Amino acid sequence: AQSVTQLDSHVSVSEGTPVLLRCNYSSSYSPSLFWYVQHPNKGLQLLLKYTSAATLVKGINGFEAEFKKSETSFHLTKPSAHMSDAAEYFCVVSDYSAGTASKLTFGTGTRLQVTL
Amino acid sequence: DSGVTQTPKHLITATGQRVTLRCSPRSGDLSVYWYQQSLDQGLQFLIQYYNGEERAKGNILERFSAQQVPDLHSELNLSSLELGDSALYFCASSVEASGAVYEQYFGPGTRLTVT
């Protein structure tokens, strides 16, 4: 069974400072991992994905995440926060094994607040 | 804009009623997924259709059903509605070829309020 744990429900940073949103996963197989962002009253937008290629994944809007198998982690980072980054961020894991459909399992979300 | 469209945007109805939510996937995507997002349950996978056939089921209630029609758009039918069904319902689509995991693209959601 797959699962994902987002270690912080709320993170607050000042504009221009680094962002770190933490995510740990559990997976029976070689997982695919994603980060999605949800702005207020909007749908979910894909930020980036890891699918067993390079362990450091670059996404949109300056975000990146590093897959660390030994730590079962996939933390999301950004060097410098912008006010427009304020949103809810979801870490997502998907297992695929032959004969089954891929299914996304979402974390509980981390609300990022960016202050002046 | 993800290319996935959902109608209606908002829906207000009474307990015991039945509603239908509609979704059009991105052009070329064969898989459609339905999710429910509520404050107490978070984002939950309901059901997946691939090329017209049910592919996977998640935490979908028996009162709920879905279908994917030949032009690949999908409908989620919710019946005997209860107050607890009030939530944001998302549709997502992906290419979903066998042997790989593809990212899903989400629509803007339908906000259902049951009074």
pLDDT tens digits, B60-110: 999 999 999 878 899 999 999 999 999 999 999 988 655 566 788 999 999
Nearest of B34, B9, B75 to residue A42 by alpha carbon? B9
* Residues on A contacting B at a C-beta cutoff of 8 Å: 32, 34, 36, 42-46, 49, 51, 90, 94, 96, 98, 100-106, 108-109
- B52 contacts chain A (CB < 8 A): no
A98 — pLDDT class (breaks 50, 70, 90): very low
- A109, A8 Cβ separation under 8 angstroms: no
pLDDT value of residue B30: 87
**Statement: residue A101 has pLDDT above 60:** no
A14 — pLDDT class (breaks 50, 70, 90): very high
Tokens of B13: 């109805």
- A57, A74 Cβ separation under 8 angstroms: no
Q: Which residues of B touch A103 (CB under 8 A)?
A: 45, 48, 56, 58
Q: How far apart are CA B69 and CA B71, in angstroms?
A: 6
